[in-house]
Structure 1
C-alpha cells in the first residue's frame, strides 16, 4: 500500500466514524445555498445600477449564509439559522461591518459608478510625504520577495533576555561598526518609496550622530529584574511543560517610547531601519531590536547577530561579505522563461473567485463570532518533546510494518518540528470541535533547498522563506495517529520544496506582481493555521555577547570569603565570634544555593530567552504558532496566538501528562 493509498484509507475510516457525512463536501447545493446565491447575485447586480441602503443587511446576510451553507452534517434547520442571523443583522450593521457599510452609504449618496466600488477591495491611500532626497546617499534596491504586502505591513520587535549585566555602550558600538563594513551598511539605510512604488534603502555616505547607522536608547534600573513590574514576568524555563504569559504582554520592553510603529513612520522620517533598545538591571539585561520585515526574516536575523557577536569579540576580520545586497540572487529564479517549467502541485487547490470569496467571508465570520485571541508562551522540556517524537515514530514504524509508507528506501522519519506541528494542530482541532477542513501553512527556508542558486558559506540578509500547504480534515487530525499527521506535514514539505516546485510556486507569486495578493490554497471552509519554525537558526547558540558582560561579584560569597580569611597584622588568623560563625554558615549556604541556580543559567553572554512580535497587532492574527528554538538546556520555546478554548484544552492536557 502506498502512502497516498494509506491516506485515502485513513480519510475513509474517519468519515465513517462520523456517520459517513461529517467531512464530505456536498455535491448538490441545498435550498439555502441556492437562496443565498440568488440574493448575492441580485444585490451585486443592483450595485451596478443603483444602491439601496436597505439591501445592505440582506447582502451581508446572503454572503454569510453562502459561506456557511456548505457545512455538512447540519441537524438544525437552515431556515431557523436564517431567522437567527436575520435577528442579528442590526448588530452586524452597527458592529463588525461598520466601515464597510459607511462606505456603501457614501457610494449611494454620490451615485458613483462601479470603478468606485472596486476601492472596497483596493483602497487608495493618501500620498506619503517623504523627506527630501540626499544627493550623496547610496541607494540600495529592495528585492522582489522582500517588497511584499505582508512584509510592508510588519515592523518587528525582537526581545532578548540575558541573565548577565551587559555593557550597553559596547552593544551599540559593535552593532554600529558592523553596519559600516562593506555592504552591511545597507541595513543602516533609510526606507524610501520610488516613483514606481518600489521600496529603496538610502544609505548615508557616512554615518554621523545626526544620521546614525542605528537608533540607540538605554534605560538603567538600579534594582534586579525581579522587581520590575513587567520584565519580572518574562518566561522562565521549567522542568515540566508550562504555559506562561504571551509576547504581547512585553510590548514595552522591545523598543523605546515613540519608536516607529508602521512603514509609513519610516518613510516619512529619517529614522534608520534598526533600533537598539537596552534595559539594564543589576542582575540581567533585556535587549530589544526593532526592524522592518522588509529587511530580512529569521535567517537574516541569524546572520546579523552572528556577525554582531564577531565584531563585539574583536574578530572583525572574520565578518564575511554581504552577498546579494545590490543584485537579487533570485532575480532569474522562478521566472516564466524557465526552460523546464513544472506545474505547481497545488494549482488545482488554489482558492479563486467565489471559492476565495467564501474563504474570506468565513474567516471574517469566525473573527466576528470568536474575536478573543490569547497570546501565550510554552516551555516544553526535553523529555516532553522526545516522548512526543517517540510516540510519532512508533506510529510510523507500525504503519511501515503494514506497508502503508510505500517502498521507501530510507527509514521512516519525522522531525521534532513536524511532530510539534501535528501536536498543536490536533490541540486546535480538538478544542474548536466542528467538522471543517484544516489548511496548515508552514514557512520553509529555501536557501538549503536551491543548492544551484545559493553558494555554501555565503551570507545573504533577505527574506528567503516560502510556504508549504497541508490540507487535512479535522477528523484526520483528531482521530488518526499522531505519527500519521506528522508524516502528512513531512510529506508535503518534501514534495513542495523540490527545486522545481519552489520555482513553480515563485512563478505564481511573480504573477501577482510586486506587493500583489498572496495565493491561498485549501478548501473554502478551511480553518487556517500558520506555523513558523526558527529552530534551524539556533539563536541560543549563535548569539555570544560574552565580550559585553560586566564582571559581577557575589556579595554574599565575598563577605564569607573575607571573614574566613581575615588575618591579623602579624599573620595570625583572628578569632570569629559565635554569632559571626552562624552568619558565615548562613552566607555559605546561600552561596551554595546561588551556585546551584547558576549551574542552570546559560554561560555568560548567552541567551536565556527571546521572542518576537509585530509592532502593530492585526485582528487577523490567530492560530499562529512560532517555534522559537531550543535553549542550551534542551527546552523548546514556543509562542502562539490561539482561542481561549485552545488554551483551556492545552492546560488540561499538560495537567494530565505531567502526572
Structure 2
C-alpha cells in the first residue's frame, strides 16, 4: 500500500482510460519492456525545428508517408492500446488511409516574414557574443502542438490517433516543422534515425533507407538476463531499497511542495563561453597525473549543477546532489545491438542514466576547483557506468526495481536531490536534410542580407530546434536539461527548472565579463575607476596567469595554467600582465593599475 502511494506521488497517473474500439484487422506488435515503463507511459514530447528556407509541406508529408509505409517502419503508424494484462501494444492498420492515416498532419501558412510575425518573431535566436536565456511562451504551442494532438497516454488510448503528429508552419522566408511523439515509441537517438531515413525518402532514394530493427523482436530482451554478465553495477551498494525508499519518498515530496513551479526556458551558450567553462575545468585539474579529460558537455553539466544547487540549498546543507546523465546504449552494448549505425535503425528506448553523486556543500565552496571536480565526477560516472557489463547490471537492477515498486533504481543518499541531463550526440538537426523540399522561388530574407543574420548558413538543415515535454505533471520534465550542440560549436539547452534557478542563471550571465584574448584593454576598468563593491565581487574574482576575468561561482576563467582564489578580505595579486588589485570587503574597487 505504501509503495503504491509512493508510486502515485512519483509517477502521477496510474489508472488509464478504456481502449478505443479495436479493429480486428490491425497487426498487433508489442511495446517492449524498457519502453513500457511507468515513467515513459505518460511522457509525450514535441520537437520543433526552424528552417530558414521555405519548404514544400506536401513533399515533406509524402516522403514521411513513404517511409512509414515500409516494412518495420510501419510500427510508427500504429495506435497505442492496452491489453487485458495492462501492457501496452501497438495496433497497426492493415492499410493507411485518410480515415486512418500513418500520422497526424497539420499545415498552417502565414503570408509574412517570420521576423514580422508578432509571435514567431519572439522565438529563440542565437546571441553569438554572449549567453542568453529565452522564454518558452505557452503561446508558442500554436506553432508546435496542433489541436487534438494527444498529450498523455489516456489521449492515445481513447482515440484512434496515430503515434506521430507532424505540424508545419510556413512563412514567406522560413518554415517551422514540429513532430509530437510518445516516449514509449521513440527516444532522442531514434528521432535522429527517423530524420535521417525521412531525408533519404525525400531525396527519392527509398531503396537506401536502413532497415527498422525494432519492430517485432526486442533487442533488449536479454538485457540483465545474460548469465555471462555477473558483474555488479558500480553503484549497486548505494542503491536505495527497503525502508530507505520511504525516506527517499519523504524528501521527494518535500521538494515537490517546496519547489512546486517549474519553468521551461531555452539557454544559448556561445562557443567562446563554453570554451572558457572547459578551460576552467581543465585548469583546476592540471595537478592530477595523468591530466584527466572532461568534455565541453561535462563542463556545461557542472556549471548548470552549480546554478541549481546554489539556488535551492543553503551553503551548510548536508544533502547530496545526484547528477543523472542519459547515455545511448547503441554502440556500447554489441551483445544487444549488433548492427552498426548506418546499416539499420533501432527505433525504441535504448537509454540508461549514469549517476554522479556530489555533496551540496562541495558545490557551495565555489573555489577554483569546484567546476573541475564536478565535471570530472560526471566524466568518471560515464567511464565507469557505461561499459557493457555495467549496462547489463543496470538492466538487471531496473527489472528488479520495476517489479517491486514500478520505479527505476535510485542510487545515493535518501535525501538526495536529482538533476537530469541529456546530451544529444546523434543530433536531429544534423540528420535532417530537406534540401529537395526547398521552394527555389523563395529565399530567406536573412540569407539575402548576411550582415544582419545571427544564423549559420545551413541550406535545407534546421538552424535551431528545441524539444519539450507537452504532457502535464510529468516527473521527467522536472529539473531536466537537454543539451544540443550546433554545427558552429554553440550550444542550446532546453531546461526545466524552478524560477529561482533561472533568476540566478540570468545574474550569472549578466555578471560575466567576456574577457576574450586581445580584448582586455577595452573591457577591464581603467586606473582609478570604480568597478563595483567588494561584496559584489566577493567570492567571484579569479586571478590567472594570463588575462584577468570575473570568476563566476567557480565556473568561469580563461585558459590558464594556474588560478588563485581569494574570496574576501584585502587582496593584492599580480598577474603576468602586471595588474594590481586592491580590494577590501564592503569597499569599492578603486584602483586597478596596468
Instruction: Identify the TM-score tier after normalising by the shorter chain.
Output: 0.7 to 0.9
Aligned to 1:460: 346
Q: Which has the higher strand share?
A: 2
Aligned to 1:261: 151
- Cα distance change, pair 247–462 in 1 and its aligned pair in 2 (3 A): farther
Aligned to 1:428: 308
SS in 2 for 1:191: strand
Q: CA deviation at 1:232?
A: 1.8
The answer to whether the Cα contact below 8 Å between 1:163 and 1:601 also exists between their aligned partners in 2 is no
Aligned to 2:361: 475
Q: CA deviation at 1:593?
A: 7.5
Picking from 280, 292, 296, the partner of 2:170 is 280
The answer to whether the Cα contact below 8 Å between 1:476 and 1:485 also exists between their aligned partners in 2 is no
Aligned to 2:564: none
- Cα distance change, pair 592–322 in 1 and its aligned pair in 2 (3 A): closer
Q: TM-score, normalised to structure 1's length?
A: 0.72
Distance 1:423 1:598 in 2: 29
1:542-557 equivalence runs, <5 A: 542-553=431-442
- Cα distance change, pair 221–492 in 1 and its aligned pair in 2 (3 A): same
Distance 2:474 2:99 in 1: 37
Distance 1:246 1:225 in 2: 17
Distance 1:321 1:593 in 2: 40
SS in 2 for 1:353: coil
Picking from 276, 281, 297, the partner of 1:387 is 276
1:630-641 equivalence runs, <5 A: 630-641=485-496
Q: CA deviation at 1:452?
A: 3.2
Q: CA deviation at 1:341?
A: 0.9
Distance 2:33 2:105 in 1: 30
Q: RMSD of the alignment, in Å? A: 2.4
Aligned to 1:606: 461
Distance 2:413 2:157 in 1: 38
Aligned to 1:567: none
SS in 1 for 2:287: helix
1:296 counterpart = 2:186:
yes
- Cα distance change, pair 475–250 in 1 and its aligned pair in 2 (3 A): same
Distance 1:153 1:459 in 2: 24
Deviation sequence 1:376-411 (CA, Å, 0-9, x none): 2111111111121122122222233xxxxxxx5xx5
Q: Which has the higher helix share?
A: 1
Aligned to 1:324: 214
Aligned to 2:510: 655
1:146-185 equivalence runs, <5 A: 146-185=35-74
Distance 1:484 1:306 in 2: 37
Q: TM-score, normalised to structure 2's length?
A: 0.79
Deviation sequence 1:481-512 (CA, Å, 0-9, x none): 32221111111111111111110110011123
- Cα distance change, pair 170–507 in 1 and its aligned pair in 2 (3 A): same
Aligned to 1:235: 124
Name stretches of at least 5 consecutive residues in structure 2 with no aligned partner: 515-594
The answer to whether the Cα contact below 8 Å between 1:602 and 1:632 also exists between their aligned partners in 2 is no
The answer to whether the Cα contact below 8 Å between 1:248 and 1:375 also exists between their aligned partners in 2 is no
The answer to whether the Cα contact below 8 Å between 1:440 and 1:471 also exists between their aligned partners in 2 is yes
Distance 2:286 2:7 in 1: 51
1:623 counterpart = 2:509:
no
Q: Which has the higher Rg, Structure 1 or Structure 2?
A: 1
- Cα distance change, pair 516–315 in 1 and its aligned pair in 2 (3 A): same
- Cα distance change, pair 126–390 in 1 and its aligned pair in 2 (3 A): closer
1:646 counterpart = 2:501:
yes
SS in 2 for 1:613: strand
- Cα distance change, pair 554–432 in 1 and its aligned pair in 2 (3 A): closer
Aligned to 1:448: 331
1:205-216 equivalence runs, <5 A: 205-216=94-105
Q: CA deviation at 1:427?
A: 1.4
Aligned to 1:346: 235
